[in-house]
Amino acid sequence: MSHVVGIDLGTTNSLVAYVKDGVPEVIRDEQGDALLPSVVSVGDAGTIHVGREAERRLLTEAQRTAYSVKRFMGRGREDVQHEAEHFPFRVSGEAGGVVRIGLGEKEYTPPEISAFVLRELKRRAEAFFAQQGEFDNEVDRAVITVPAYFNDAQRTATRDAGRIAGLEVLRIINEPTAASLAYGLDKKHSGLIAVYDLGGGTFDISILRVEDGVFQVLSTNGDTHLGGDDIDVLLIDTVLAEDDAPVASGRTPEQLQAIRKAVIQAKWDLSDREETTLNGKRFTRARFEQLIAPVVERTLGPVRQALADAALEPSQIDEVVLVGGSTRIPMVRRKVAELFGKTPHSELNPDEVVALGAAVQAGILVTGNRDMLLLDVTPLSLGIETMGGVVSKIIMRNSTIPASGSEMFTTAVDNQTAVDIHVLQGERELVADNRSLARFKLRGIPPLPAGMARVQVQFQIDANGILSVTARELRTDVEQTIEVKPSYGLTDEEVERMLLDSFEHAEADFEARMLIEARNEADSVIQATEKSLRSPDFAMIEKDELAPGERQKIESVMAGLRMVLNSTDRETIQKWTQALNDATRHLAEVMMNRSVKAALSGKNVDSFRT
């Protein structure tokens, strides 16, 4: 049977995990690496590079390389304008529409870029299952995590990314909740848990009550634009300001990326050292903490709000769990410990714990195992626009999901057959201060005098935290048709088209992979041949056993293969590789016979001894 996995689609790194005999495990690549950098780079020929290779290309092809794309998921161009300048890639898109990211000649939506990362994880998992000797190694279903504070548009964008990557997204779950699932496995926890999740680009705090295996989220809060990236930007700005050389505008994107790499390294260094060097200068932890204090401080407001929403005091929390790479920073740990008055947990790797939890949830979904149950909440209130640009709330924030709410609408003029509805998410009073989710037209209302129609609109937030809307005219009991136009999302048709595009890409990617494999194969045949020709007893072999001109033949074929090795013509490379194999077959046989003879004679010596 095909496989199901849990995926942590992170701002900086992404991971894939699965459940083996009830225990979640992270799947590593051939090098033993669990983390796949969430970086995508487009080569000149349109080849897509993902992960470490893409990350390397930041230093050489910065403008063709995208990172931290999670910050753009489900956002409009206006939302990201102010931070777009920090990135080497082009950020564009129509006003009021989805962000587009330009890499080389092409433009991609954030879900498409994320889909490249997801596809790579899918491939990694499939290679792993194949290696495990699984008959069916296909991975076609996944649970994908998102920050708890992601709104509907950001969740939908993540689900779209999964679909574009050819995955059925079984469930979107919240990262802190996933982490708590992973933590709740070994010990039989019960009590109140706070999960503080500071990642590369997002911050979440969730307060949970755990009892009898039910993980019930009481409240959640956060900031989807707060994380390690912000620390990096601060440090980059500091380096640029302290530098005597011309300002940022005078540098190439690649130089800026080199600085970014250096500040990230310095940040890591300071997690377990008191000082390091940055840009050739001494850089102390004290100075670092002074710089990042405002960023750390920004996380504490949401923590207090989440506690207030759960009607709890910090001292009532039994356990505090740290998640996300940025919680390695000592100052973050210290501030969290101070606020709660207890030392936070960090037994599990903060990078891996979310993927592990996602795998656990995937296991629950496919097996129906009822030992554990996750009850999450919607992070933001859902409302609709009413007269005067005021929001009327229908589902309050921190409501356990699935949740539903309904609102009655009527008509303003006689024989009106359609009503416009604007759905928003957020806590503010005014429409303009909230997130626009969708606008839709309620059609097919029977013609009646003004105010007579009674249309009940039902809002349903499912277990993914994603909204759907249905409507019914109560007098006639007619179901209304609703055309939802997502404000910052993709339509189903767009997702469908991207999925098809991605298949074409998959072919191009497949071709690229085959080419690399052909080159590697050619390379290893050349290596082996050279080794044989240079072996100490080759002269004797040539004299005793090779035909005249045989060595020259081998050498000329090898030279031919070398010449085609760097072409992009896979078939020619393979043809020449085959030719070299043929040319060396006799030599190989001769050498094999000689080594067998040597082994036999060796054995004789051995048998004498015993």
Instruction: Give the catalytic positions in this structure.
Output: 8, 70, 175, 197
Residue 496, H or E segment: helix 492-533
Are 317 and 180 in contact by the 8 Å Cβ rule? The answer is: no
Nearest by Cα to 207 from 219, 221, 191: 219
- Alpha-carbon distance values, 401 to 14, 256, 377, 405 (Å): 26, 43, 5, 11
Q: How many CB atoms lie within 10 A of CB 371?
A: 10
User: What whole-number distance in Å separates Cα of residue 205 and Cα of residue 415?
Assistant: 49
Q: Which amino acid is at 439?
A: R
Chain centroid offset of residue 214 CA: 27
* 212 exposure class (CB count in 10 Å sphere: 0-12, 13-18, 19+): exposed
Chain centroid offset of residue 139 CA: 16
Q: At what angle do helices 585-609 and 492-533 cross, to 10 degrees?
A: 60
Chain centroid offset of residue 504 CA: 22
Instruction: State whether residue 1 is helix, strand or coil.
Output: coil
Beta bridge pairs of residue 78? none
User: What whole-number distance in Å separates Cα of residue 383 and Cα of residue 469?
Assistant: 12
- Residues of the shown chain interacting with other proteins in the complex, contacts defined by CB under 8 A: 170-171, 211-212, 214, 216, 361, 364-366, 368, 370, 373-375, 392-393, 396, 399-404, 460, 462-463
Strand boundaries in 77-152, DSSP class E: 90-92, 100-103, 106-108, 139-146
Residue 196, H or E segment: strand 191-198
Nearest by Cα to 207 from 395, 7, 375: 375
Instruction: Kindly state the smallest distance separating residue 393's Cβ from other proteins, in Å.
Output: 7
Q: How many CB atoms lie within 10 A of CB 278?
A: 23
> Dmax over Cα atoms in the chain, in whole Å?
113
User: What whole-number distance in Å separates Cα of residue 68 and Cα of residue 201?
Assistant: 7
User: What whole-number distance in Å separates Cα of residue 166 and Cα of residue 181?
Assistant: 26
Which two three-digit tokens encode residue 442? 């309620």
Are 164 and 498 in contact by the 8 Å Cβ rule? The answer is: yes
Residue 115, H or E segment: helix 110-131
Are 572 and 564 in contact by the 8 Å Cβ rule? The answer is: yes
Which two three-digit tokens encode residue 323? 């998640």
Nearest by Cα to 3 from 177, 132, 114: 132
